[in-house]
């Protein structure tokens, strides 16, 4: 399959760390005179650090988004692969980075063979609604590679019925190469550089790459997504 959202980048989003530096960068962007969707994202690492503020291009949802309204934390549906726990937090930057409750988050991505579910199949797709602390958890697998693009997980935040913020998470290349040497990923020969061949990764990979920590037989990552 192909993912033609490479050529369909949409609105600009401000993705920035939750905190005083993030709010300062948001103010700068607001004075730029551009029409943008503004959001903030802070990547939580095991050490508790967050990256500096960045301005990145928001990816479109691509051709494989399905509004299934499948409210569930575990989206694997028996799909084989390296387990991944994804802890997400949504905050409202314009309200002092206050946690945002009742925000719907859709997640979808390819399986170990680089295929998306379709038709009657709904694996590796799901929706969660944030709790009063702005948090939700997805249990899935590390996605496979396909179509010359950096392996990624799509996500869409829907804080209300009028607005959305859509983007995608990437993975450290050295980790991907280790994962792709394991079954079932190893049934295909992985590209030598799964990330560097993708313009989207070169544009926004620095801010949207997950910091993964070992978690049992797989990995765990946390990310804070802020919206204005």
Cβ pair 78, 111 in contact under 8 A: no
pLDDT digits (tens, 9 = 90+) for 130-182: 999 999 999 999 999 998 899 999 999 998 888 888 999 999 999 999 999 99
Provide the CA 224 distance to its chain's centre, in angstroms. 10
Q: pLDDT tens digits for 3-13?
A: 444 333 333 33
Q: For 7-227, which CATH class?
A: mainly beta
pTM of the model: 0.77
How far apart CA 34 and CA 141 sit, in angstroms, is 37
Instruction: Write down the domain spans for the chain.
Output: 7-227
Contacts of 91 (CB under 8 A, 6+ apart): 18, 40, 97, 98, 99, 100, 134, 224, 225, 226, 227
- The pLDDT value recorded for residue 50 is 37
Contact between 129 and 69 under an 8 Å Cβ cutoff? The reply is: no
Average pLDDT of the segment spanning 67-74:
90
Banded pLDDT at 2 (limits 50, 70, 90): very low
pLDDT bin (cut points 50, 70, 90) of residue 34 is very low
Between residues 23 and 156, which one has the greater pLDDT? 156
Q: What is the mean pLDDT of the chain?
A: 78
The phi and psi torsions of 141 (rounded to 5 degrees) equal: -130, 165
> Does position 70 have pLDDT exceeding 80, yes or no?
yes
pLDDT at 4: 42
Cα 165 to Cα 136, 161, 215, 217, distances in angstroms: 16, 12, 28, 32
Task: Take residue 130 and report the two structure tokens written for it.
Answer: 């944030």
Of all residues in the chain, the percent with pLDDT exceeding 70 is 73
Q: Given this model, what pLDDT does residue 110 score?
A: 97
Selected residue with higher pLDDT from 128 and 35: 128
Mean per-residue pLDDT, 62-76: 86
Query: Taking 50 as the threshold, does the pLDDT of residue 47 lie above it?
Result: no
Least confident stretch, 81-90, 91-100, 125-134? 91-100
């Amino acid at each position: 399959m192909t993912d033609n959202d490479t050529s369909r980048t949409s609105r600009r989003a401000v993705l920035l760390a939750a905190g005083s530096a993030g709010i300062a960068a948001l103010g700068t962007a607001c004075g730029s005179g551009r029409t943008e969707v503004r959001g903030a994202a802070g990547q939580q690492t095991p050490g508790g650090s967050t990256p500096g503020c960045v301005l990145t291009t928001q990816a479109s949802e691509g051709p494989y988004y399905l509004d299934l309204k499948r409210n569930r934390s575990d989206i694997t549906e028996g799909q084989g692969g390296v387990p991944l726990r994804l802890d997400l937090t949504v905050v409202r930057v314009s309200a002092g980075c206050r946690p945002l409750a009742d925000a719907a988050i859709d997640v979808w991505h390819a399986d170990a063979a680089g295929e998306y579910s379709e038709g009657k199949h709904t694996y590796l797709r799901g929706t969660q609604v944030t709790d009063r602390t702005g948090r939700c958890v997805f249990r899935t697998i590390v996605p496979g590679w396909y179509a010359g693009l950096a392996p990624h997980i799509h996500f869409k935040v829907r804080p209300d019925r009028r607005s959305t913020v859509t983007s995608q998470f990437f993975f450290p290349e050295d980790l991907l190469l280790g994962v792709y040497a394991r079954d079932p990923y190893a049934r295909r020969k992985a590209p030598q550089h799964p990330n560097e061949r993708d313009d989207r990764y070169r544009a926004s990979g620095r801010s949207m790459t997950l910091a993964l920590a070992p978690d049992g037989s797989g990995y765990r990552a946390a990310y804070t997504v802020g919206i204005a």
